[in-house]
Structure 1
Amino acid sequence: MPFNNSVLLSIIKILTLQSLLVLSASQDFDFFYFVQQWPGSYCDTKQGCCYPKSGKPAADFGIHGLWPNRNDGSYPSNCDPSNPFDASKISDLTRQMQSDWPTLSCPSNDGLTFWGREWDKHGTCSESVLDQHDYFSTALNLKTEIDLLKALQSAGIEPNGSSYSLSSIKDAIKGSSGYTPWIECNNDSSSNSQLYQIYLCVDSTASGYIECPVFPNGSCGSSIEFPSF
C-alpha cells in the first residue's frame, strides 16, 4: 500500500530532526585551544620524561593538542567512540609529527598513543569541521604560523634556567603574533614554578587564530623560570 503523504512528511521530519541533533552535537563548541608545551619543563619535574624512539626532540615548543572549547569554559570530550584513531590515516604526516608533536611520556614510544589519545578525546569532537587527517595537519600548520620560541628569544627571553616576569612572556608572544596567550606553569623537581604550556585560540572552523573568548583557570605567579632542554 503506498505511503500516505502525511506519513511520508512525518518520516522526513523525524529524519531531518535526527540529522540536526547529530550535527548539533558534533558542533557543540565555540573555538579551539591550540596548546604547545616546552619539553624542558615537561622533563624537569620529579616525574621526569622519556625521549621518543625517534630520538631527543629539538629544543622547541611541541604541540600538545588542538582542543574544542566553549565560551562558558566547558568543553566536549570523547565525542565519537565509533571513530577511533587510525594511524594509517596520517601516515604521510608521521615524520613531521615526530618533529613537531613529540611524545615525552615513559616508557619511550613512537607517539601513536599520545596522538591517539588527542584524537579520541578532542579530535572526535571537531568532526563537523575536521576529519582525522585534517585535525592533525591543521595543528601542524598552526604551529608553523607562529614561532613561539623565536618570539620569546627576540624579546631576550631565553630557555637557560633564568626567571622572567609573566607579563614579559605574554607581551613577547602578543607582540610577535598579535594574540594574547594564556600561560600554564608546572613545578620543577625543586618546586620552582616554570613555563610549561602556551595556549592560543583558533576559530571554530579552524581557519585561523583569534583572541581567546575565555582563558582556563589557574595562575603562574609573577615570575617563572624558563628551563633549558
Structure 2
Amino acid sequence: MLATVAVTITLAARSVLAASASAPYFGKVFHGHRTSADSSSEGNIYPIKDCSAFIQDTPDSWSCHNTSVIRDECCFENYGVLLQSQFWDYNTTLLSIAVNGTTKDIVQAEAQSQIDLLYNDIKRTFTIHGLWNDLCDGSYRSNCEPSWEVDDARDNLTHLIGTEFNEPQLLAVMKRYWINTLKSNVEDQASVALWEHEYNKHGTCMNTLNPECFDSGYREHEQAVNFYKKVVEIWSQLDTFQFLAAVGIFPTVARQYKLSDVQNALSKAHGGEVYVGCLNGAIDEVWYYHNLQGNVLSGTYRAIDSLTNSTCGEKVWYIPK
C-alpha cells in the first residue's frame, strides 16, 4: 500500500512539473527554455563597448581559436574558456536512506520528497555557483586585479546592487538562487560572501571587464554588478533540472541512474559535453563549458565539450534536496 501511494504521488508530481510554465527574466525565459546551443544576450543590455566591428573584421575572433595576438582587450577574452557552474545541494540524510534504509523508509522518504518538490522551487533548482574563466588549456589564475575587488564590509553588496545600481530584481534572484553551500569553500556561510568571493576570484580576471571597456559614464564597481547580472543570465538559460526532467530523470531515493544517461541529456540540451560532479556517489554539481566571441557581457557564448572528467561512477544517485 505504501509503495502504491508513493508511486502515485511521484507520477502526479512529475506530471505537474512537466507542465509547469516558465517566467521571464532579463529578456530571457527563466527556468528552462533555450532556443539554440549558445547563451548570447538578446541585444546589448550592458553599458559596454560595441564589439560588432571587431568581430566582423577579425576572422579568428572566437576565444581559444585565434592564430595571432589579438590586442583589443575589450572584445576578446584572453582566458577563453567560460564555464557556468551550478550546485545541487542534496539532502545527505536522504542519501543515507537511499543506500541503507528499509523499504518502508525509502517509500516514505520518496513520497515526502516528491511533495516537497512540488511546493518549493528551490528543491527543483540547480543553484548558482558562478561563472569561471579558464585558460584554453583548462588551467586558471585568480584574483587578478585587486583594485577591481569588492568588499561587502566596505561596499555593502546588497545596497550596491539593489539601490546604487537600481537592480532590485537581480538582487532578489541572487538572494534566492545564488546560495552558499559547504562545497563553495567560502568560510563565511552567508550567500553574500559567495558573491564577493566569486567576483573577486574570477570576475577580476576577465580582461573585457576593464573599466576602460565601459561607456563613458563608468561608475566604480560597475563591472562587478554587471558580472552578477551576466552570471544570472547565463544560469537562467541552463536549467539543469528541466533538462533532466525532459527525459524522465528526476530526484529520487528509490533508484540510481546511469551516468551516461545524465550526461547525454545535458549534452543534448547544451550542445557540448557537460561536467557532472558527484559527492559520495550522488550528483552535486554541473559545469557548462563555452568559448566566447566578443565581450564577456555582450558577446556570444558557444557550447564546447567539458575539459574536466566526471567524478562520478557509472551509476549515480540523484538525491532530492
TM-score norm. by structure 1 comes to: 0.73
Q: What residue number does 1:123 align with?
A: 203
* Cα distance per residue 1:47-97 (max 9 Å; x no partner): xxxxxxxxx971110010100011211112111111222414422222110
**Cα gap change, 1:84 to 1:108, in 2 (>3 Å):** closer
1:76 alignment partner, one of 120, 128, 141: 141
Moved more, 216-225 or 101-110: 101-110
Q: What residue number does 2:312 align with?
A: 220
How far apart, CA to CA, are the structure 1 residues paired with 2:267 and 2:138? 22
**Cα gap change, 1:216 to 1:174, in 2 (>3 Å):** closer
Q: What residue number does 2:67 align with?
A: none
SS at 1:58 equivalent: helix
2:226 alignment partner, one of 128, 134, 151: 134
**Cα gap change, 1:218 to 1:176, in 2 (>3 Å):** closer
How far apart, CA to CA, are the structure 1 residues paired with 2:313 and 2:138? 21
**Cα gap change, 1:108 to 1:70, in 2 (>3 Å):** closer
With CA pairs under 8 Å and 6+ residues apart, which has the higher RCO, 1 or 2?
2
Contact kept? 1:36, 1:197, Cα under 8 Å: yes
1:40 alignment partner, one of 90, 101, 116: 90
TM-score norm. by structure 2 comes to: 0.54
* Residue ranges of structure 2 left out of the alignment (5+ in a row): 1-69, 97-119, 211-222
How far apart, CA to CA, are the structure 2 residues paired with 1:97 and 1:71? 29
Moved more, 97-106 or 155-164: 97-106
Two-structure CA RMSD over aligned residues (Å):
3.2
Q: What residue number does 1:5 align with?
A: none
Q: What residue number does 1:176 align with?
A: 269
Q: How do residues 179-218 of structure 1 correspond to structure 2 at under 5 angstroms?
A: 179-187=272-280, 193-204=281-292, 205-206=295-296, 207-212=299-304, 215-218=307-310
SS at 1:151 equivalent: helix
How far apart, CA to CA, are the structure 2 residues paired with 1:75 and 1:107? 22
Moved more, 60-69 or 105-114: 105-114
SS at 2:142 equivalent: coil
1:150 alignment partner, one of 238, 242, 265: 242
* Cα distance per residue 1:147-174 (max 9 Å; x no partner): 2101101111111133111110011112
How far apart, CA to CA, are the structure 1 residues paired with 2:95 and 2:129? 17
Q: What residue number does 2:260 align with?
A: 167
1:58 alignment partner, one of 105, 122, 126: 122
* Cα distance per residue 1:105-156 (max 9 Å; x no partner): 4998541111111011111111424721121111111122122101101111
Once the two structures are TM-superposed, the CA of residue 175 in structure 1 deviates from its matched residue by 2.3
**Cα gap change, 1:135 to 1:173, in 2 (>3 Å):** same
Once the two structures are TM-superposed, the CA of residue 221 in structure 1 deviates from its matched residue by 1.6
* Residue ranges of structure 1 left out of the alignment (5+ in a row): 1-19, 47-55, 188-192
* Cα distance per residue 1:200-219 (max 9 Å; x no partner): 12333333442336512453
Once the two structures are TM-superposed, the CA of residue 198 in structure 1 deviates from its matched residue by 0.9
How far apart, CA to CA, are the structure 2 residues paired with 1:145 and 1:81? 30
Q: Which amino acid aligns with 1:118?
A: E
Query: Number of residue pairs matched?
Result: 195
1:103 alignment partner, one of 163, 180, 199: 180
Q: How do residues 7-46 of structure 1 correspond to structure 2 at under 5 angstroms?
A: 23=73, 27-40=77-90
**Cα gap change, 1:114 to 1:57, in 2 (>3 Å):** farther
How far apart, CA to CA, are the structure 1 residues paired with 2:197 and 2:92? 18
